[in-house]
Amino acid sequence: MNAKVDRMTRIESLISEMTLSEKLGQLTMTACGYAVTGPTIAGDSTEAIKAGTIGSLLNLVGADHIRQMQDLAVAHSRLKIPLLIALDVIHGLRTIFPIPLAEAAMFDREGWERTAREAAHEAAADGIALTFAPMLDVARDPRWGRIAEGPGEDPWLASEIARAKVRGFQGAQLSDRDALAACAKHYCGYGAVTAGRDYASTDVSERTLQEVHLPAFRAALEAGVASVMPAFTDLAGIPMTANRALLRERLRGQYGFDGVIISDYNAIGELLRHGVAADLTEAATLALNAGVDIDMMSNAYRTGLPAALERGWVQIAQIDQAVHRVLTLKTRLGLFDDPYRRGSVPESVAALSERRRFARQIGARSVVMLQNVRATLPLPGSIQRLCVAGPLADAAAEMGGCWCPAARTDTHVSVLQGLRAALPEVAISHAPGVAINGDDRSQIEAALEQCERAEAIVLCLGEAASMSGEAASRSDLDLPGLQRGFAQAVFESASTHDIPVIVVLFSGRPLIVPWLFERADAVLAAWFLGTEAGNAIADLLTGAQSPSARSPVSWPRSMGQVPVFFAQRPSGRPASANDHYTSKYLDAPNEPLINFGHGLTYGQFRYSNLRVAPEAVRESDTLGIEVDLANVGSHEAEETVFLFAHDKLASVSRPLLELKGFRRIHLHPGQSGTVRLSMPASELCFPGVDLERVFEPGEVEILVGPSAERTRLLAQTIVLKT
């Protein structure tokens, strides 16, 4: 008998031995908390694990605690089925890497994969077997705090990240002791919440679903993702947790997903508040019928499904099938062979310190240099007095951003600490000035005095870590508290003393601070970089590293422009200054303040000689694209080159730019090189008039350049043939 058949038979015979309550236990995920006596289980007792009425746990950390709980299941429950231990390992467990939006800015497949691999090592060493990541919600509204957790505004980029993350978390095979099952979330359309308000309703057209919100999930499925989590939200009135059409029919039926579908936290219970279920029995029925296998934290399956069965609303075969999927995942994770395979080998000190070194590199690679007037950065080697000012200057605890509950924030490195370590000879003063979000003005004068005595000011401004992530939407994306006034005062006084001001901006989203770009000499978007934040930022400020990241989102000029993103469709009345009746604002340009893909380096790159071949292609062909670059600046640097397409004439109006590729090139001053990209012509397919995928003949522009700023792109037209 081959291994798969053998596995299936074992699972089936196990299911045949299970009572209904043991079956529903396998479909139940419960959270852990901590009491003096050790971990406790929300709304349950450890007796439930022994009774086999809990199959998986979330929010449990620490190898000892996890082993203790696993022991209850494996040694004391009747059927000895191991627990599935799950946690949100979003950007690291203890060693925290940059938040996902920041990592997206790296445009580096290996980097994306490796941070997930490292996080998997660290989490698996604790005994964790599944992570609720990657989060793949494309988001074009920066009010939404969860934009911080995702890939940014572009579906093609999101798909690349999806593949790399699934590979990274899951490793070579799920049964490896350092592999985590990944969970693609939140399926789907969560990024489109109304007015950017978390958990609000969504309503997305079928075309936009196919073009924007689904591609990254399909990429995760292709990469073999083990589980999927439906979004909390409804889509055009049908909550995703109960969305049979999108879960059972599309995800399972059409896309062939046979892994585990895990509800979001209490999402089955929330079907009552969505107004589609009268009680937990109805809610559980809707979720199971839609295809949800695991009930996270609603206790709806255990309480509701027995009655639903009696009433004939669900069939036992459906429950068995869900249990089958859960047990298959546990088997694939190797839990039946050795439930302690994860968590039994503590990581070495050397591995941990190597990981921190890597986090520092990745941190530096995630910072986008948005502005650098008169080559203010890197700081000149001759500098002797520096003032590190602002409420985020020495805010180690904020550096992790959202989702790092298991990390010790006292090991994070602040900008002040990083700069002091990097520049031991320089006199570095520190002046917070104001709190991140307070109204105390009493420290402002003293801070301005400190600033005046420096040769350069590093002004660290932005959001607190808690201002982005889940349930952290904001309606005003200016700096919180008194920071704007404080920054204006610093700019004012610095300009009278001719002192350059370098702003390091922390945020989980693009902020709307046009006034800041008008006055700052240099601006670094530092997002939240994690454990090694301060060292990574110091590496860039001192020039030990050149910035190389590019913004994965457009930065609006004003809230009135939101949503603003590069892949807009053309208007029948394109904006024209000479024609009143065109698509524009009377009081602002259409373009964002900062384009998708923007990011400066310490080099200076000239693009020339775009070559695209062949000039006529069929769907099965691959396009070869070459462009020459020269670094005409005075520092070595890495440039990211983007590839876009624009289908000029099709049966459906196509976006003015669609991202199709990127590649990086490292050049020394005076050096030239050629960047080669390739693109399967099938990438130019799109959902046609009837929403079926088509490859249509006609002209397509291929564009290459440093960002989505149209005027900076080189273009060549090719012809598609059927």
- The residues that are catalytic are 264
Q: Which of 112, 132, 336, 695 binds ligand BGC (CB under 6 A)?
A: 132
Name residue, tokens 């350049």: 705
What minimum distance in Å lies between the beta carbon of 185 and ligand BGC?
6
Binding residues for ligand BGC, rule CB under 6 A, total 7
Please give the structure tokens belonging to residue 532.
């090694």
**Position 144 contacts ligand BGC (CB under 6 A):** no
Q: Looking at beta carbons only, is 241 or 531 nearer to ligand BGC?
A: 241
278 close to 246: Cβ distance less than 8 angstroms: no
Phi, psi of 160 (to 5 degrees): -65, -40
Q: Rounded to whole angstroms, what are the CA distances from 545 to 360, 366, 538? A: 11, 12, 9
Please give the structure tokens belonging to residue 68.
């203790």
What minimum distance in Å lies between the beta carbon of 267 and ligand BGC?
8
Cα–Cα distance between 83 and 70 in angstroms, integer? 6
Q: Rounded to whole angstroms, what are the CA distances from 518 to 484, 510, 513, 596? A: 13, 16, 9, 19
What minimum distance in Å lies between the beta carbon of 87 and ligand BGC?
8
**Position 249 contacts ligand BGC (CB under 6 A):** no
Query: Across the chain, how many H-helices and E-strands are there?
Result: 18, 27
- For every residue of 558-586, DSSP letters joined together read SGGG-S--S-PPPPSS---TT-SSSS--S
117 close to 168: Cβ distance less than 8 angstroms: yes
Amino acid making up residue 73: A
3-state secondary structure of 591: coil
Binding to ligand BGC (CB under 6 A): which residues in 35-74? 58
Cα–Cα distance between 717 and 571 in angstroms, integer? 21
**Position 602 contacts ligand BGC (CB under 6 A):** no
Q: Looking at beta carbons only, is 57 or 461 nearer to ligand BGC?
A: 57
Q: Which of 470, 621, 626, 628 binds ligand BGC (CB under 6 A)?
A: 470
**Position 198 contacts ligand BGC (CB under 6 A):** no
What minimum distance in Å lies between the beta carbon of 264 and ligand BGC?
5
Binding to ligand BGC (CB under 6 A): which residues in 74-93? 88
Q: Which of 122, 264, 398, 647 binds ligand BGC (CB under 6 A)?
A: 264
What minimum distance in Å lies between the beta carbon of 328 and ligand BGC?
21
CA atoms within 13 A on the CB side of 143: 19
What minimum distance in Å lies between the beta carbon of 297 and ligand BGC?
8
What is the rounded end-to-end Cα distance, in angstroms, of the chain? 47
Task: Give the residue closest to ligand BGC by C-beta.
Answer: 132
Q: Which residues of 673-685 are buried (b: 16+ CB within 10 A; e: fewer)?
A: bebebebebebbe
What minimum distance in Å lies between the beta carbon of 629 and ligand BGC?
40
Q: Which of 107, 265, 336, 662 binds ligand BGC (CB under 6 A)?
A: 265
- For every residue of 632-670, DSSP letters joined together read -SSS-EEEEEEEEEEE-S-SSPPPS-EEEEEEEEEE-TT
Amino acid making up residue 245: A
Q: Which of 185, 332, 342, 360 binds ligand BGC (CB under 6 A)?
A: 185
**Position 169 contacts ligand BGC (CB under 6 A):** no
Binding to ligand BGC (CB under 6 A): which residues in 531-550? none
461 close to 503: Cβ distance less than 8 angstroms: yes
Beta-bridged to residue 664, according to DSSP, are 640
Residues of this chain that bind ligand BGC (CB under 6 A): 58, 88, 132, 185, 264-265, 470
